[in-house]
Every structure is written in C-alpha cells, then in structure tokens.
Chains A and B, each alone.
Chain A
Amino acid sequence: MRNLLRLIIRYYFFFLFLLLEVVSVTLLVQKNTFHRARFINISRSIEGSFYETFGVIREYLVLKETNQDLHMENTLLRNQLDGLTRKQEQSAELRYDYVPRRQFSYIPALVINASTNKQFNFITLDKGRNHGIEPEMAVISPKGVVGIVYSVSGNYSSVIPLVNRDLRLSAKIRRNGYFGSLSWPGSGYDNAILEEIPFHVDLRHGDTIVTSGYSAIFPEGIIVGTVEEFEAFEGNFYTITVDLAVDYKNLSHINVIRNLMKEEQLELERVR
C-alpha cells in the first residue's frame, strides 16, 4: 500500500494526466448518462444566454435577406389562403363526424448560434420548453427544411440540422412521389445525399425533393432541395446529390412545427 502510494506520488504527473483524460473521454463517449445530460444542460443555458447577447449583431447583418424571405413567404401564404377559403366554401355541404381544424401549429423562433463546418453540427434557438418546444419537433425556415429539435432547456433549444451526420430524413421526389432516405455525407453545407430511390424511376436534374410526411414529425411536401446530380452505383438504387434549399450560413427566422396529432398517430401505429 505504502509502495503504491509512493509510486503514485512519484509519478503523480502521469496519473493526474490519466485521470483527467479518463474524465474527458467518459464525458465524451457515454451517450445518455446523468453526467453527460447535466453537462449538456449547463452548456445549453450558458451558451444560450451568451450567444443571445452577441446574436443581435448577426441578426442585424442578415436583415435584408430576412426581409426578402418574409416577403416571399407572405405572398405564398396569401395564395394558399385564397385557395383554402374557396375550397372550404365548396365543401361546406360535406360533413364528417369530427374533423380537427388543423394538424400543425407553428412556433416562430430565432437562430442564435449555428455551426456548419463540423461533422456533427448544431443550431441553437432562442425559444425552449417554456414556449412549447419539445424534442423531435420539426424545424423549417421560409426556404425549406432545417432540421429536428434535439433537446430543450427552459428558454433555449438545440436543433440537429440536415448538415449533421446523425440525421436521417425520409424525403421524396415531388414529381412522382418515390421516397428515399436523406443523409449528409459530412462535407459541404449545401448538399446532401438521397438514397434508396429505385433505378427505374425517371429522374431529371432540378427535380424538387420534399419531405415525405411519413414520420409524424414533418408535414408532407416541405421543400428539402433540388436534384443536382445522380448516379447508379450498385445496380438497383440511385445515389442522388441534393442541393439543399436552406442556406445554413444565413439562418435567422425559423418556425418550429408541433404536430397536434402526433400522439394519435404514434398510438395507432404502436397497436399494429
């Protein structure tokens, strides 16, 4: 025992080094332990309040583009509204027993921090649990799909964007409805890879890729990007490079989507 103590004291530099490395690596590799969760929580609140202060500058710099985007979106919404009111008038006679008014509700939020150059990128929003945001909600910007909420604290939340190797999204080709799985190859924040589209599908450059709506997270038909190029590697499936619609370096006003009928869908699917 005494010898051991003497050994440790003699080589304390090495043992202290080992101890600190073990602490760091433990934090790093364990995905769901208490300590890691605590670390992430503390990190989130410090990060949130800090970047909020400095995010003001960023917000100001992208003001012009933000305004343009909002204008575009307004126009789009007006057009849709018109179509919808007409449809409602036409179908006034058709009555179902119970049809819910709406399925999705939109929560506005601001991006206060974003990274695009790491392998596992994250985005931080200025709204959290207190504003009704929960994990696994969809996040969109006026231009298209941004990502999925990963974790929330009281007033902030962090989003896994499409440009994160951990995210897989079910997406389809708008023109013909074939769906596949979208993921990010880890390089270039403006493109992603769509796989599992069978070889016989008629593909063209510039085809629009939209969300499939199969996951109970995203509404159907939100733009993901356009087909940049495609090639058939191994026989039956295409590997499609998708030019992402959202510019991850210039994100500011986004919407978080709550699916009001998610519980219902999941419950039904569980029974099967």
Chain B
Amino acid sequence: MIKLLGRNIIRLIVLVMVQILIVNNIQINEYFLPQFYILFILLLPFETPRWLLLVSAFTLGISVDLFTQTPGMHAAASVFMAFLRPWILEMSAPRDGYETGTFPRLYYYGFQWFLRYTVILVLAHHFVLFYIEIFRFTEFFSTLLRVLLSSLFSIILIMLSQYFIFRK
C-alpha cells in the first residue's frame, strides 16, 4: 500500500517534469500541443478512492499550472478528466470486472481496451483545456482542430509509453 503510494507520488513528479522540460518544448505550431502528464490519471490504480482521485488530479494540474503561468487551467481540465474516469472504467469493464492486483495498463487489458480508455479521457481533457484557454466560442472550429490534433499527438505519446516505459 505504502509502496504503491510512493510509486504514484514519484510518478506524479516525474511526469510533471517530463511535461514541462521535454514535451512543452516540442513546439511544432499552435495546433500540436501534446499533454503527456495526464498519463498519471490514466495509470492510477482501480481501487483509488474517488476523493483521492479528484484531489490528486487537482494537485497534478496545479503543479503544471505553476510552471506555465496559467492558474487553474490545467487543474480544471485534469479534475474534469478524473471526474469522468470512474464512469469510463465502469463502461468499458470486461465481463468479469477488473481483477485485483492489476492496473489500468495496456499490459493487463490489451491494446484495444487501453486505446479506447485513453482516447475518451484524453479528448475530454483536451476539450476542456483548450476551450478554457481561449475562453470564447467565436473561434470554435480552429479551437476544435487544436483539440483534435493535440489529442492525437498526446494519444500517440501515451500509447508509445505503454510499450517502452510501462511494459509491466
């Protein structure tokens, strides 16, 4: 239990660092802004209490905000994503439910399951994030394009991470 907690705290710190030091420096143009740090929320154990889920998502978002001078922007999007997570997990559960001792990873539940889980949550997160950033609906379609292209980029990064870093 303690080991699991420690591992997740370290993962939070490492992902925030990776986001601000590496991913934020991939500046292709204004349509591709990958958000890799949300992998943290995707990988939290199934048994995480719901309040802890929200609080840790908020902590994650606000830490990224601290480095990008966007108070509340990433926090709002991350909390929204964490709020959706229990339903998405419930919706896409295998017939006999999730086994104890497993984690929401590609390794345990396969490519298709993980891809669907990732796509829904990443889209939800990016949608909130980019519309909050622009804070108006006048440029609806250009913002939508930003959401879609950035999500695509983030999803590719997250899927790749499953093969190279979180193999087990």
What is A's interface to B at a CB cutoff of 8 Å? Answer: 12-13, 16-17, 20-21, 23-29, 36, 39-40, 42-44, 46-47, 50, 54, 115-120, 122, 158, 186-188, 249
Contact = CB atoms under 8 A, between A and B. Distances in A.
A127 B70 CA distance: 21
Given A20-B54, A25-B76, A117-B33, 18 more contacts: A17-B54, A20-B55, A21-B79, A23-B58, A24-B61, A24-B72, A24-B73, A25-B72, A28-B70, A28-B132, A36-B71, A43-B71, A46-B67, A117-B27, A118-B133, A119-B134, A120-B133, A188-B29
Given A20-B58, A21-B79, A13 B51 contact: yes
A12 B75 CA distance: 19
A164 to B, nearest CB: 12
B161 interface: no
Given A21-B76, A25-B76, A249-B27, A16 B69 contact: no
A43 B76 contact: no
Contacts of A25: 72, 76, 132
Interface residues of B, number: 37
B83 interface: yes
Of B28, B33, B67, chain A has the most CB atoms within 10 Å of the CB of B67
19 contacts: A13-B86, A16-B50, A17-B54, A23-B72, A23-B75, A24-B62, A24-B76, A24-B79, A28-B72, A28-B132, A29-B135, A40-B71, A43-B67, A46-B66, A47-B66, A116-B27, A158-B69, A187-B30, A188-B30
Contacts of A249: 27
Contacts of B28: 117
Contacts of A44: 69
Contacts of A120: 133
A117 B83 CA distance: 28
B155 to A, nearest CB: 19
B19 to A, nearest CB: 13
Contact of B75 (A24, A40, A46, A47): A24
Contacts of B69: 40, 43-44, 47, 122, 158
Contacts of A39: 65, 71
A120 B68 CA distance: 11
Contact of A17 (B33, B72, B75, B83): B83
B80 interface: yes
Interface in B11-31: 20-21, 24, 27-30
B17 to A, nearest CB: 9
**Closest 4 pairs between A and B when the two form their complex, measured CB to CB:** A27-B72, A24-B76, A24-B72, A28-B72
Contacts of A29: 135
A48 to B, nearest CB: 10
